[in-house]
Amino acid sequence: MTEFDSRVRAVRDRAREAAEDLRARALSIDTDPHTMAPHLDSEVYAAIRHGETPEEYRWGPEPPGAVLPDRHSCLQNVVGMCELARGDVGALLACPAPGLAGTFVEFLGSEEQKKRFYERVGDGRTWTFFAMTEPGRGSDATAMESRLERDGQGGWLLHGTKRYIGNGARGGIGVVFARTRRSALSVRAALVELPVPGWRAEPLDMVGLRGAALSEIRLDGVPVPGHMLLGEHLPATRRGIWGAVRTFNTMRLRVAAAAVGTALAMAAHVREHRPGAPGARRAVARAEAARSLVYEAAARIDRDPDRGYLSCAAKLGATRMAVETAHWAAAALGPAGLLDHPLLEKWTRDVCAFEFMEGTGNIQRLHVARGYRSGEADG
């Protein structure tokens, strides 16, 4: 059992309060995720954006009442995510904030690139995108087909197609991955600020987690100035995707925490509206067990960021548990239960998306098997 210090407890309690704001916005955002004006001045959104921004780039004082997690503590961020997810993950993903793109810019960017990125996002009206996934290739960097070609003037031209990119059609700045050649170290990340010629993006039809506004992006000679390629100041082995394994270990656990939080919300909803529902105690116990595993994995990442074995196992178990909890919740409320409880109906759609975020179950199984064989499964 992972022990919480006073700081982690404070982050948890404040995130639990903020979850109420997200839940109040959930159905509105799910109905029309592209009409965000009524939500952009939310104090919770301001706190999320503030917490994801390095101190030197933050605009204005800390939002009132905010208890922000240490940005470099996996445990604090996972605990906060779990509580926020009990409000609504779709509303959380709709927040204009640095997101995963910000994590990569901080990790790989120069001071000039960081300043440019965070100043653009600081207005609270700019979404970011993280464009890696491709049609027919998924997030497999070794099979990536998008390419960066030299323009003969010290810059690059981006070509290719990206699909299932969060906020891609409404983003203002973000990170796009592509190859400079065919070698193992050739996958690079470019910082792209919109509008820019050759960029076409369209929103995709979505069933769940509509607040994420998934999109398809077509890149037809998008110009990338030489100074916008991330990681130029770093050794070749630390550039692009090869330099970001630690980040994926952390983000994987945030997805697992989102699944756990949604499962806990569904179980609580059923118990509130149908006290004594068969299977309720088991559903809650499974969600709480998954939460404990996610917390333990996060604590281990804080101790050793390169060891992702337990984070893969936690994500695999949490996403499966959340889907099974959704099936139980729908059955527990009867044939018309989802019609009578639109928030629960929304969550039963949302949980199916976690499987595809930060690596599918089959990918996690491969990582678990590899970790086991290499001795990471230390009991």
The encoded tokens of residue 107 equal 């990790």
**Sign (positive or negative) of CA dihedral 45, 51, 57, 61:** positive
Q: What is the pLDDT of residue 28?
A: 98
Higher-scoring residue by pLDDT: 332, 375: 332
Q: What is the pLDDT of residue 122?
A: 92
Q: Is the pTM of this model over 0.85?
A: yes
Q: Which helix (H) or strand (E) holds 130?
A: strand 127-131
Q: What is the pLDDT of residue 244?
A: 62
Tens digit of each residue's pLDDT (9 = 90 or more) over 90-145:
999 999 999 999 988 998 999 999 999 999 999 999 999 999 999 988 777 778 89
Partners of 199 in the β-ladder: 219
Q: In Å, how far from its chain's centre is CA 22?
A: 16
Q: How far apart are CA 103 and CA 108, in angstroms?
A: 9
Q: What is the pLDDT of residue 378?
A: 63
The encoded tokens of residue 329 equal 């919740």
What is the arithmetic mean of pLDDT over 178-207?
92
What is the arithmetic mean of pLDDT over 239-257?
79
Q: What is the pLDDT of residue 243?
A: 59
DSSP β-ladder status, 127-131 and 171-179: parallel
Residue type, 235: P
Helix orientation angle between 309-332 and 280-303, rounded to the nearest 10 degrees: 160
Mean model confidence pLDDT for the chain: 91
The encoded tokens of residue 100 equal 């995963």
Q: What is the pLDDT of residue 224?
A: 97
DSSP single-letter state for residue 138: B
What is the arithmetic mean of pLDDT over 293-303?
93
Given a cut of 80, whether residue 218 has pLDDT beyond it is yes
Find the angle CA(289)-CA(292)-CA(296) to the nearest 5 degrees. 145
Beta strands in 154-224 (DSSP E): 156-166, 171-179, 187-193, 199-203, 214-224
Tens digit of each residue's pLDDT (9 = 90 or more) over 51-92:
999 989 987 777 666 667 888 899 999 999 999 999 999 999
What is the percent of the chain where pLDDT is above 90? 72
What is the percent of the chain where pLDDT is above 70? 95
Q: What is the pLDDT of residue 68?
A: 79
Which single residue is written with the structure tokens 């893969």? 312
What is the arithmetic mean of pLDDT over 186-203?
95
Torsions phi, psi for 49 (to 5 deg) = -65, -45
Helix orientation angle between 111-121 and 99-108, rounded to the nearest 10 degrees: 160
Given a cut of 90, whether residue 306 has pLDDT beyond it is no
Partners of 60 in the β-ladder: none
Confidence of residue 361 (pLDDT cuts 50, 70, 90): confident
DSSP β-ladder status, 199-203 and 187-193: unpaired
